[in-house]
Amino acid sequence: MNHLATNFYEAASVILFGIGFMNLLLQNNLIKKFIGLNIMDTAVYLFLAAKGYIFNRTAPILTDGIIDANYYINPVPAGLVLTGIVVSVSVTAFSLALVQRLYKHYGTLNMDEIMQFAREGEGE
């Protein structure tokens, strides 16, 4: 319990990850499914950002000439978050393009209905 209280950012991000993951897995509405994907990815970015931040320190930008590393937070996780954001943006763009085409063809966003239509189409 104590660990949860001290690491509440991490705990929150893992819970968010779970919410996003289950949405991606179980949600029938395709748009909501990919919102789930974004929640999942964002949860990991929260985790990374929380890990990179060190209390009472400042952003690693040299302004007053201090080169001591103990004065700054860890910049690497921020770099990872940026890279991750680029990746998830492109994945989301691809997914939404796909969803749009599916909607144009089937006229619905419900995955179950789409699967049913697809099966009917195959059976012909």
Residues contributing to the site for other proteins (CB under 8 A): 14, 17, 20-21, 24-25, 30, 33, 37, 40-41, 43-44, 47-48, 51, 76-77, 80, 83-84, 87, 90-91, 94-95, 98-99, 101-102, 105-106, 111, 114-115, 117-118, 121-122
Q: Of 26 and 66, which has the nearer Cβ to other proteins? A: 26
Is 64 or 104 the residue whose CB approaches other proteins more closely?
A: 104
Contacts for 102 with CB less than 8 Å, ≥ 6 apart:
30, 109, 114
Distance (Å, whole) CA 6 – CA 76: 22
Instruction: Select 68 or 120, whichever has its Cβ closest to other proteins.
Output: 120
- Alpha helices (runs of H) in the chain, residue ranges in sequence order: 2-6, 8-26, 30-52, 76-106, 111-123
> Side chain identity at 4, as an amino acid letter?
L
